[in-house]
Amino acid sequence: MRALNVFTLLLVILGSLNWGLFGLLHIDLVADTFGGDSNLSRLVYVLIGLAAIWQLIPLFNSFAMDEAAAERGHSIR
């Protein structure tokens, strides 16, 4: 579970950096790396979106418990 959380967090960070670069310099890092309209770039965009949804779990857990316990991944009791 920890590996999945780290992987999804990295994807969310990649997506955020991509949006930041696009907003500042009109550079689409994902499209430039994987090909503009290729299926691979679409897959990366979908994975980033799914990763953001997955990261909602620790976010909501942090509202229900203290932050340190949420980062450890303990469930709500």
Tens-digit pLDDT profile for residues 34-54: 988 899 999 999 999 999 999
Averaged pLDDT of the chain: 87
Please check whether residue 18 is in contact with residue 32, taking contact to mean a CB–CB distance below 8 angstroms. no
49 lies in some domain: yes
41 lies in some domain: yes
Res 77: pLDDT: 46
pLDDT(9) > 80: yes
> Mean per-residue pLDDT for 16-34?
95
- Non-local (6+) Cβ contacts of 61 within 8 A are 70, 73, 74, 75, 76
> Mean per-residue pLDDT for 43-66?
89
The structural domain count of the chain equals: 1
55 lies in some domain: yes
77 lies in some domain: no
Q: Classify residue 37 by its DSSP letter.
A: T
**pTM of this prediction?**
0.76
Question: Which domain range does residue 19 map to?
Answer: 2-72
11 lies in some domain: yes
15 lies in some domain: yes
Please check whether residue 64 is in contact with residue 57, taking contact to mean a CB–CB distance below 8 angstroms. no
Please check whether residue 48 is in contact with residue 12, taking contact to mean a CB–CB distance below 8 angstroms. yes
> Mean per-residue pLDDT for 18-28?
96
